[in-house]
A and B are shown apart, each in its own frame.
Chain A
Amino acid sequence: MLNELKQREEQKNRFFQKDNTIATKDRVVAWPRMGNIDLALNALVSSLGVKIVEAPPNTNEALEIGVKNSIEGICLPYKLNLANYIMALEKGANTLMMFQAPGSCRFGNYTKMAQKTLKKMGYKFDMVVFDMYQSKMKQTLQAFWHVTRCTNPFRYYKGFSTGFNKAFAIDTAERLLFYTRPRELNKGEAERCYRKWYKKIAETTSIWGCKQLKKQIIKDFKKIPIDKNKIVPKVYLLGEFFVLLDPYTNKEIEKTLGDLGIEVERQIFFSDWLEHVLQPSFLYKKESHRERCVRFAEQYMKRAIGGETIETIGDTVYAARNGVDGVIHIMPFSCMPEIVSQNILTKVSREEDIPVMSLVLDEQTGKAGYQTRIEAFIDLVKRKKMKERLNNK
């Protein structure tokens, strides 16, 4: 077992040969975009003293570049990742960072493919990859050590502290936004507040300032006047990790739903995932999200099969048993784990009596058709909620 682990590590190292020729001061780091991940990573890497290039946000142009340079059958997240890499390299980056989780789905192969494609295109760069599977903290530190050569432990402390606090702060802001948006009296106020704090979080650099962010955000959101007695149906947003977090790919589904008067609850937040992934398992205090999912999905699934299938199923069952009114399940086209969960969800929906809609996204998704489907589903959810209230009276 240990032998095999070592063998695999060696294989990986042979493939991703670390390039030591680039001097630390010349390094310009870039990583693919995924939701608000860059806020935290920017804080971490810049406090370790390395220059950063931010890949431009995901747009149609970016996607076009990605589609042009990737193979036909690969899934949407890879196309966007590759586009981010190419645009960052054009802007002068020479070190590309990426984490990977082998053994889940095609995700474990992203870095390998991206490296090959970019080398073929003639770019020169250093790819730094860290596995999120075993010895995760060690691998992460090693990767950052390779890039920064920073020996000052205080800087590491500062980087990780500000990074984590920023990730938690932005997620708190997002949660509050989801709660406030359908209830606000003056349309658009919550959104403005969120934008303001997004900027402030990005600008804050001190450790103390970052620690205070969360409290200030909560205080600020409480000032927004809301209609507390409004009946707001609650919808869970589940599905594939990248699509959930990336606002371009999911066509800002949270905003669409919030404007329709729906409280959205997204099950996967970046900070939750980060905490789960980086913490050693003996430090877990409460039941983690994944454990809860395994417990709830027991009736339908007996084993984890990779990807986020078990989370999707477990959360749907949890939603049905905790008074949530509907579930929207989103996934990129030809995503393997989510096709399995889509198959299982039909039965879950029937047996647990909860409306479930699956949305499949790819580069050809049109906003109009998408909107119509969401509106129809929301009408259904609202009517169901009204009926329940009538029956209870």
Chain B
Amino acid sequence: MKFCTEKIIGIPRAISYYNNYPFYYGFFKGLGYEILLSDKTTSKLINTGSQYVVSDTCLPIKVFVGHVVNLLEKGCDTIFVPSLQSTAYKVNNCTKIRGLPEIIRNIINQPFRMIEPTLDKTNNLTFKDFCFETAHQLNIFEEEKINLAIKSGWEIYNNFQKMTLIGIPFHEAVKNAIEGKMLSKPIEIVKPLSVIIMAHGYNLFDERISLNLIKKLEKMGVKTYTGLNVSKEDAIKSIEKIGEIQYWANELDLTGAAAHYMLSNKVDGIVALSAFGCGPDSLMVDEIQYHASERNLPMIHLTIDEHTGEAGFVTRIEAFVDMLIRRKRKIAKENNIKILSSTKRKKIVNAEQKAEDKTLSLI
């Protein structure tokens, strides 16, 4: 136990890390704690995680368990495992995320200290209570210190959110937010196609779980939008606009983002990425599929588990992108928009960039 006496807290690089890490960073730094992150997800780590849980458990939980074991192997004995029950009145999370501390407590037979605060707005446990509970479990009771820590946490988180909203990729945004830097809006490269990826952050931004989906799509010349590019208010509004009710706490990343881009006609297709056997996703993807088919918008549903092979995955994405291109060409032909060869295209791009309505001619 190397870190036993020191003030170090271990955060597994899974589940809530992908949405809230900037806040956690500022908060724990404010409380005077050092943060130890687990290693990045690897196949070996997933295998370790799978050994601890029953086989029906979904991939993200297996990965989470793997990360906890990884932290324990590193010698960290204080691990942060939050239970995010509900984020608004009667808007609950998935049962497995709600019960994360219960799972971890009962499957790992090794003494360690688990920091397990509860966020449950249905039962009037607000985010402030959540932070205070965390601090109390770490034996910090000075109210002023905790309040300051919360403030510094929000500062970093707000910077992170500002950066993601203007389109900076997740990993870059986290890195810069933690260092206290603020990046300006990146230059937008015009690409012939654009899609919205509807997926939970912990699936999409984990490079092993999502098999680098974002990079793969970008290599094929497709611009990708994610749930991080949509603000919370916009997401809630657009869910209401398409006539649905927000039921899951983490629905904004999926239905919210997809509905927002679907309503604004910004994208050519929807890519849904979900883990096999995921309960909430099965409903949310179906919801969006229903609305997408009404609007005649192509959609693909990619399912992943620990055995997903990369080759089959790539084939499916390629087929989908090919289909999108052919479809766009056909629409262009029907509307009598001339398709130019690639050498001529570049000259005209600059001239026509301002006229937004005619973006179709770019192909």
Q: Which of A165-221 contact B (CB under 8 A)?
A: none
Complex CA distance for A104 and B247, rounded to whole angstroms: 11
Which of A1, A102, A306 sits near B247, CB closer than 8 Å?
Answer: A102
- CB neighbours of B141 from chain A (8 A): none
Q: What's the nearest-Cβ distance from chain B to residue A311, in Å?
A: 13
Q: Contact between B54 and A346 (Cβ–Cβ < 8 Å)?
A: yes
Which of B53, B89, B285 sits near A343, CB closer than 8 Å?
Answer: B53
Q: What's the nearest-Cβ distance from chain B to residue A343, in Å?
A: 5
Q: Is A116 an interface residue (CB 8 A)?
A: yes
Which size bracket describes the interface of A in this complex? 35 or more
Q: What's the nearest-Cβ distance from chain B to residue A134, in Å?
A: 9
Q: Which of B180-204 contact A (CB under 8 A)?
A: none
Interface size on B, residues (CB 8 A): 41
Q: Contact between A337 and B95 (Cβ–Cβ < 8 Å)?
A: yes
Which of B54, B89, B90, B102 sits near A301, CB closer than 8 Å?
Answer: B102
Q: Is A347 an interface residue (CB 8 A)?
A: yes
Q: What's the nearest-Cβ distance from chain B to residue A75, in Å?
A: 8
Q: Is B281 an interface residue (CB 8 A)?
A: yes
Q: Contact between A74 and B107 (Cβ–Cβ < 8 Å)?
A: no
Give the tally of cross-chain contacts (CB within 8 A): 121
Q: Is A225 an interface residue (CB 8 A)?
A: no
Which of B54, B101, B122 sits near A339, CB closer than 8 Å?
Answer: B54
Q: What's the nearest-Cβ distance from chain A to residue B255, in Å?
A: 12
Q: Contact between B96 and A336 (Cβ–Cβ < 8 Å)?
A: yes
Which of B57, B58, B107, B290 sits near A347, CB closer than 8 Å?
Answer: B107
Q: Contact between A11 and B245 (Cβ–Cβ < 8 Å)?
A: yes
Complex CA distance for A300 and B107, rounded to whole angstroms: 11
- CB neighbours of A305 from chain B (8 A): 83, 85, 95, 98-99, 102
Check A12/B92 contact, CB under 8 A, given A343-B57, A344-B103. no
Q: Contact between A109 and B95 (Cβ–Cβ < 8 Å)?
A: no
Q: Which of B136-194 contact A (CB under 8 A)?
A: none
Q: Which of A119-172 contact B (CB under 8 A)?
A: 120, 133
- CB neighbours of A347 from chain B (8 A): 106-107
Which of A302, A309, A334, A358 sits near B279, CB closer than 8 Å?
Answer: A334
Q: Is B129 an interface residue (CB 8 A)?
A: no
- CB neighbours of B283 from chain A (8 A): 71, 73-74, 106, 109, 113
Check A300/B105 contact, CB under 8 A, given A71-B286, A309-B99, A343-B53. yes
Q: Contact between A342 and B286 (Cβ–Cβ < 8 Å)?
A: no
- CB neighbours of B86 from chain A (8 A): 103
Q: Contact between A336 and B247 (Cβ–Cβ < 8 Å)?
A: no
Q: Is A292 an interface residue (CB 8 A)?
A: no
Q: What's the nearest-Cβ distance from chain A to residue B296, in Å?
A: 16
Q: Is B282 an interface residue (CB 8 A)?
A: yes
A309-352 CB mask vs B (1 if < 8 Å, else 0) is: 10000000000000000000000011011011011101110000
Q: Is A15 an interface residue (CB 8 A)?
A: yes
Complex CA distance for A212 and B85, rounded to whole angstroms: 45
Q: Is A360 an interface residue (CB 8 A)?
A: yes
Q: Is A261 an interface residue (CB 8 A)?
A: no
Q: Contact between B290 and A336 (Cβ–Cβ < 8 Å)?
A: no
Q: Is B75 an interface residue (CB 8 A)?
A: no
B238-259 CB mask vs A (1 if < 8 Å, else 0) is: 0010010101000000000000
Q: Contact between A1 and B89 (Cβ–Cβ < 8 Å)?
A: yes
Which of A112, A133, A303, A344 sits near B83, CB closer than 8 Å?
Answer: A303
Q: Is B118 an interface residue (CB 8 A)?
A: yes
Complex CA distance for A133 and B122, rounded to whole angstroms: 11
- CB neighbours of A247 from chain B (8 A): none
Check A302/B56 contact, CB under 8 A, given A74-B282, A105-B279, A334-B279. no
In this complex, what residue of B is CB-closest to A300? Answer: B106
- CB neighbours of A336 from chain B (8 A): 94-96, 279
Q: What's the nearest-Cβ distance from chain A to residue B282, in Å?
A: 3
Which of B95, B101, B282 sits near A309, CB closer than 8 Å?
Answer: B95
- CB neighbours of A334 from chain B (8 A): 56, 277, 279
Q: Contact between A344 and B277 (Cβ–Cβ < 8 Å)?
A: no
Q: Contact between B101 and A302 (Cβ–Cβ < 8 Å)?
A: yes
Q: Is A368 an interface residue (CB 8 A)?
A: no
Which of B92, B95, B106, B245 sits near A15, CB closer than 8 Å?
Answer: B245
Q: Is B47 an interface residue (CB 8 A)?
A: no
Q: What's the nearest-Cβ distance from chain A to residue B108, in Å?
A: 10
In this complex, what residue of B is CB-closest to A333? Answer: B56
- CB neighbours of B99 from chain A (8 A): 301, 303, 305, 309, 337, 340
Which of A104, A307, A340 sits near B103, CB closer than 8 Å?
Answer: A340
- CB neighbours of A71 from chain B (8 A): 282-283, 286
Q: What's the nearest-Cβ distance from chain A to residue B177, in Å?
A: 30
Q: List 18 A-B contacts (CB under 8 A).
A: A1-B124, A11-B245, A12-B245, A73-B277, A73-B285, A102-B247, A103-B122, A133-B90, A303-B83, A305-B95, A336-B96, A340-B96, A340-B99, A343-B54, A344-B106, A344-B107, A346-B106, A360-B56
For the complex of A and B, 5 pairs with smallest distance between CB atoms = A73-B282, A4-B89, A305-B99, A336-B95, A305-B98
Task: Supply 14 further A-B pairs (C-beta < 8 A) apart from A302-B116, A303-B99.
Answer: A4-B90, A11-B240, A15-B245, A73-B282, A303-B85, A305-B102, A309-B95, A333-B56, A339-B57, A339-B58, A339-B96, A343-B103, A343-B107, A344-B107
Q: Which residues of A contact B (CB under 8 A)?
A: 1, 4-5, 8, 11-12, 15, 71-75, 102-106, 108-109, 112-113, 116, 120, 133, 300-303, 305-307, 309, 333-334, 336-337, 339-340, 342-344, 346-348, 358, 360
